[in-house]
Structure 1
């Protein structure tokens, strides 16, 4: 947008005999929330189209994108959580806080205190060892981030830094050894299996709960009020709780009381003790309000505008602006002076300290390998976002030129994790000695479902009919290639080693992009005609009648025929132009299925490192994935970044799992990774030439069954 005049003023611009009035508007970055907080489609058009409007909408997928838009001059202001302000400071985004979004007239959204039973003989933090601790627990991070949840323990408990334990277990162990017992209900870590193991190992941290054996979010002592009930029911000696809940619990504000305050006191950070009914309670840490923050040069005018908004302005553009900014019925509290984010947060007792506790030394870091500048940038913003929500170990983003170089870096211990597309999994395993840490699981409509596709009307009814036919593969050593090789081998249509050369003898002139010359030139002859690379290339190879069969993902056919971009040969075709070979099995026509991508690591990675790393990515998924718990998303893991798709993770990913299926109830057969054991036949045969073919097939079957048991399918 070109500016012709001062902010909020209009200038007359003359072009020949025409003239028009141009008004430079403030640009609000809008992030849609969930449910009825999806407001951009309703209010942005009203805001943009109003003749007298002073604001335009810039819609973003998450709050970190709004920070980047302001940094790049594409937006002027937005609504941010206090965690976003820490990220902004780390990333060098210059903002001034103009207004707080308060729903009650309090200085902070909430304050957190430590309440003790006067009969517990606690006189200072030095008396806390061996006492009984009531904690709100975990599982409602929208309201209570792990950083604030763990602040008290981080302040009073000597940390454990056992190199043989995960960081999560080190924290749990330190608390278990410091207090006599506790109730810390809810998920301690994100992997349910590991969570149960930790609770069995440290049962004292569930001992005070109503149901110690379960220790879940359903416990009567779980949650904000749960920790206070744990205290006043006589189970514990000290409770970590929100001050507003304390006032309500002890009847210090209007409403029903659960207990009388005379027996209880606040333990203060300076080791003093004051009564719970004191008019000046002592606070350990506060949570600042969400705020409106703006570019420095426009902050004064934006503050005046936001401060003027009122629910009385219905049927005006200001009412649309109000509905885009407020998160609930909000009072736009005007700060006495415009304030840089650093000094604003510094006034929030304990908040910056909570975000700056040092960890163990040497620190543990997970080095993520990225394959482009923009992917590395997304990784860096994910790293910053993870830090402000207490995710550990730390992340480090390392850039390479491509996935192959990343796999080399991991093999050489120069990086730790890389996201590998399914077509490169076999190469990762065989050439770079990698293994899977977790999978990007997707809906069935996005899985790679390998099928044999022919043109409609082709007289092909079985795999035997493909002998001598011209085949179109997306890429050598990819999902389709290895699946077909496994299928032909299992049907005993190819039998001898090397199997790749057997493929060349089975098919007629074909196209297999990337096939090494030594593996059989017959399988590359069709590639010389046109660009038949990739899924669309293989389908083009088939539809142009160069080939007789294409081995591709079933979902690629739909995308090939629906993609209307110029130059796509499939946009003149329909699904009805193709037929899929089912070979008598109409339910499972696919030959294999693969997840969207896999995170791969060194095969000699320790079990300890894998637990630490898996927990980090599962935390990230819970915070920033498709099922984020916040009103608006702080950062988008699975979606576009700066307008680019499939960076670092696939946009279609539903969740991360250490199993390839999206849910435990998924029962789709023929998981692709199992087919990769087919080549073991030749390896075994070369080293065990005296074994009969029957025993070799039994051995391969045993490997498959072992893999099934390993991932629990």
Structure 2
């Protein structure tokens, strides 16, 4: 029996000693990880960013790692199996409990805030998130919420209105909204809110404090560190306005910012005691001043330095001696208690202002998850309206949901292939994802050499191969030939093509949710697709000729010509030439033709909403703020245009550098807008229905009206 116990103890000890705990690491840590993994105690798991680290620790895929405070707050309400283990505090700040804590302060004690001068640091040149910089304002705004719905087109207009109503001459400096025209209008309309800003010096928090000290009957938002550094508080009485509504002569904070945090998974599946192991590795005694290793640690001094370098990924902590201040909360709600000890993080429902929210349509579980993280990120950065995530089965189902009268969704980012369907559903672009150079869409017309096709007119009656009915290649062909071989008057592009071409393959031509009208000869447009026993569906699983690769196969096997989206990864077919949009032929037997030879050069996607919806201006302002905070600024924890949890192209393509408004003059966006201009003009002038269901209702209404009118006339006689 004793022998068995001893054997089990040895096995347990060996497993505990040799188990590799998984740590979050970035690709830049690859060389360090290679050295650290040699001891078989720690294994690096690579993540895209800190948010992915938090998600994987929550799921138990990774055991521990470090994140900054904003990433921790981002996970509020979205994770449940993470335990905060320690703060990573620089040696220079070892006696400072927080990175910063915000306070509202004055030299005077007031019964009411109305009419006071308000000194605010602004939102530029500071790492403090806008939500924290607006926290005090939001508390005093509530009495003006009844002005929301009727008086203002956007949330920011109500916000500035409320500030101007409450406070007297103030300094709330800087940009108030990313829309330059609206920002200028608001500054011109409310000059009192920036009247005290001139002649202030220092960083934003110092300027705010200086504004208060220079102005009677004033109140300032700043930090306790700024006050301690600039004022001898032992000789000067200050009054602090607290979150609970009281006024105190001792500091009371609104929000506190912790230093970077070491976190670990709460899953118990891994062998060994991770908490005790981390304590042994990272307690201050491990880093002896003489550089020698601690006898109780199973990592040597070099490995400990490698571990420290991965954990101290934050730029301000690199090459700095740090302390690991342990948290002592072993309760099941340790994460929630940790968050609440620093800051109030409102939920989406509690953050709605003026009853406005924007419902973002998603098409997968992964996209829905990223959308929920975007919703929390936008709340944490004070961006309105609040995002609500609505999941549907496909982009087409999202378009239908947005167009329906019950308005179950408000927006979605769709591929350019759905632009025609979106317009027919009465929807339009509110913003465009930009594209990097050489990543835009280029469409080409390929013709077989032996089909006697010398100009565009020769395509009449020919067999055409298209990647997708109503897709961007299909529409580019219509635009290039409209007024030359196709009528310039009709809006019914499907009928124009089915009348002009011979048997063809246009995957999706039989699908009614692509806004197909009865005038289209769908059997003819699907003939080449279905001859092989396959369907005409827009699906690779059931249609060999779907997408660009399928259209090339169709051309090789059956077609006379094909219209495709350029894809350099595909092999250029034999016995084929590129016909340029001016009717000439490229001299190159390859996809890399001159720019002037493309049928079109376009952006890859668009953000779709309802036309003339009252919420649209607010949505557009929110999108511009996402671009600023979650793309342009590199220190924020959520990256809108990056992979999420190691999954690409969710909500937006990873290749998106930023967003642009529809009036952008960038060629791919301008070309895309021009491509759809005829549809808009034609629909207004011809009565062709934007939404197929609306068209049916219109016909029914007209028919009913005529019948009633006829009956009345007959009764009169």
TM-score exceeds 0.5? yes
Q: Aligned to 2:438, what secondary structure does the other structure show?
A: helix
Q: 2: CA distance between counterparts of 1:42 and 1:80?
A: 21
1:552 match: 564
Residue in structure 1 matching 2:416, options 413, 422, 437: 422
Q: 2: CA distance between counterparts of 1:210 and 1:53?
A: 60
Q: Decide whether the 8 Å contact of 2:465 with 2:563 is kept in 1.
A: yes
Q: For residue 204 of structure 1, report the CA deviation from its aligned partner.
A: 1.6
2:167 match: 179
Structure 1's 200 and 495: CA in aligned 2 closer, same or farther, altered over 3 A?
closer
Q: 1: CA distance between counterparts of 2:417 and 2:431?
A: 16
2:231 match: 250
Residue in structure 2 matching 1:210, options 198, 222, 239: 198
Q: Structure 1 residues 88-97 or 131-140, which shifts more?
A: 88-97
1:536 match: 549
Q: Decide whether the 8 Å contact of 1:638 with 1:650 is kept in 2.
A: yes
Residue in structure 2 matching 1:491, options 470, 484, 493: 484
2:115 match: 130
Q: For residue 206 of structure 1, report the CA deviation from its aligned partner.
A: 1.5
1:314-355 Cα distance to aligned partner (Å, 9 max, x none)? 97222221111112125232326245122233333xx22788
Q: 2: CA distance between counterparts of 1:451 and 1:183?
A: 56
2:279 match: 303
Q: Aligned to 1:238, what secondary structure does the other structure show?
A: strand
Residues 629-668 of structure 1 correspond to what in structure 2 (within 5 A)? 629-630=634-635, 634-659=637-662, 661=664, 666-667=666-667
Residue in structure 2 matching 1:433, options 426, 437, 447: 426
1:25 match: 20
Residue in structure 2 matching 1:403, options 395, 402, 408: 395
1:334 match: 325
2:672 match: 672
Residue in structure 2 matching 1:287, options 214, 236, 257: 257
Structure 1's 206 and 536: CA in aligned 2 closer, same or farther, altered over 3 A?
farther
Q: 2: CA distance between counterparts of 1:268 and 1:682?
A: 61
Structure 1's 201 and 338: CA in aligned 2 closer, same or farther, altered over 3 A?
same
Q: 2: CA distance between counterparts of 1:669 and 1:187?
A: 27
TM-score (norm 1): 0.77
**Which segments of 5 or more consecutive residues in structure 2 lack a partner in the other structure?**
1-6, 269-273, 294-299, 511-517, 533-542, 587-593, 689-717
2:128 match: 144
1:442 match: 435
Q: For residue 362 of structure 1, report the CA deviation from its aligned partner.
A: 6.8
Q: Decide whether the 8 Å contact of 1:113 with 1:284 is kept in 2.
A: yes
Structure 1's 479 and 360: CA in aligned 2 closer, same or farther, altered over 3 A?
closer
Q: For residue 90 of structure 1, report the CA deviation from its aligned partner.
A: 0.9
Q: Decide whether the 8 Å contact of 1:137 with 1:222 is kept in 2.
A: no
Residues 47-196 of structure 1 correspond to what in structure 2 (within 5 A)? 47-48=36-37, 50=38, 52-103=39-90, 104-105=93-94, 106-116=96-106, 118=107, 122-124=108-110, 126-140=111-125, 143-161=127-145, 162-164=148-150, 165=152, 166-196=154-184
Q: For residue 438 of structure 1, report the CA deviation from its aligned partner.
A: 1.7
Q: 2: CA distance between counterparts of 1:637 and 1:502?
A: 40
1:292-324 Cα distance to aligned partner (Å, 9 max, x none)? 011235333223323356494797222221111
Q: For residue 289 of structure 1, report the CA deviation from its aligned partner.
A: 1.9
Structure 1's 357 and 482: CA in aligned 2 closer, same or farther, altered over 3 A?
closer
Residues 376-387 of structure 1 correspond to what in structure 2 (within 5 A)? 376-387=368-379
Q: Decide whether the 8 Å contact of 1:147 with 1:355 is kept in 2.
A: no
Q: Decide whether the 8 Å contact of 1:167 with 1:392 is kept in 2.
A: yes
1:622 match: 628
1:475-512 Cα distance to aligned partner (Å, 9 max, x none)? 11111212211221133554675553442454444322
Q: Decide whether the 8 Å contact of 1:526 with 1:546 is kept in 2.
A: yes
2:604 match: 596
Q: 2: CA distance between counterparts of 1:299 and 1:45?
A: 24
2:694 match: none
1:45 match: 34
Q: Decide whether the 8 Å contact of 1:53 with 1:317 is kept in 2.
A: no
1:97-155 Cα distance to aligned partner (Å, 9 max, x none)? 21101121211111222343x4xxx313x3432122221101346x2011211122234
1:369 match: 361
Aligned length: 618
Q: Structure 1 residues 675-684 or 193-202, which shifts more?
A: 675-684
Q: Structure 1 residues 65-74 or 595-604, which shifts more?
A: 595-604
Q: Structure 1 residues 495-504 or 530-539, which shifts more?
A: 495-504
Residue in structure 2 matching 1:319, options 288, 292, 305: 305
Q: Decide whether the 8 Å contact of 1:299 with 1:338 is kept in 2.
A: no
Structure 1's 444 and 107: CA in aligned 2 closer, same or farther, altered over 3 A?
same
1:502-523 Cα distance to aligned partner (Å, 9 max, x none)? 4245444432212249624444
1:694 match: none
Q: For residue 267 of structure 1, report the CA deviation from its aligned partner.
A: 2.5
Structure 1's 303 and 475: CA in aligned 2 closer, same or farther, altered over 3 A?
same
TM-score (norm 2): 0.76
Structure 1's 209 and 591: CA in aligned 2 closer, same or farther, altered over 3 A?
farther
2:211 aligned with 1:230, yes or no? yes
Q: Decide whether the 8 Å contact of 1:99 with 1:332 is kept in 2.
A: no
Q: Structure 1 residues 338-347 or 469-478, which shifts more?
A: 338-347
Q: 2: CA distance between counterparts of 1:24 and 1:189?
A: 52
Q: 2: CA distance between counterparts of 1:24 and 1:589?
A: 61
Q: 2: CA distance between counterparts of 1:284 and 1:685?
A: 58
Structure 1's 462 and 127: CA in aligned 2 closer, same or farther, altered over 3 A?
same
Q: 2: CA distance between counterparts of 1:77 and 1:62?
A: 14
1:355-398 Cα distance to aligned partner (Å, 9 max, x none)? 89955677322111222233222222322333333333222111
Q: 2: CA distance between counterparts of 1:682 and 1:422?
A: 20
1:240 match: 221
Q: 2: CA distance between counterparts of 1:176 and 1:6?
A: 72
Structure 1's 93 and 531: CA in aligned 2 closer, same or farther, altered over 3 A?
same
Q: 2: CA distance between counterparts of 1:306 and 1:6?
A: 26
Q: Decide whether the 8 Å contact of 1:645 with 1:651 is kept in 2.
A: yes
Structure 1's 25 and 515: CA in aligned 2 closer, same or farther, altered over 3 A?
same
**Which segments of 5 or more consecutive residues in structure 1 lack a partner in the other structure?**
13-20, 33-37, 212-218, 253-260, 275-279, 562-569, 689-713
Q: For residue 180 of structure 1, report the CA deviation from its aligned partner.
A: 0.6
RMSD: 3.7
Q: Decide whether the 8 Å contact of 2:19 with 2:40 is kept in 1.
A: no
1:691 match: none
Q: 1: CA distance between counterparts of 2:449 and 2:143?
A: 67
Q: Decide whether the 8 Å contact of 2:359 with 2:387 is kept in 1.
A: yes
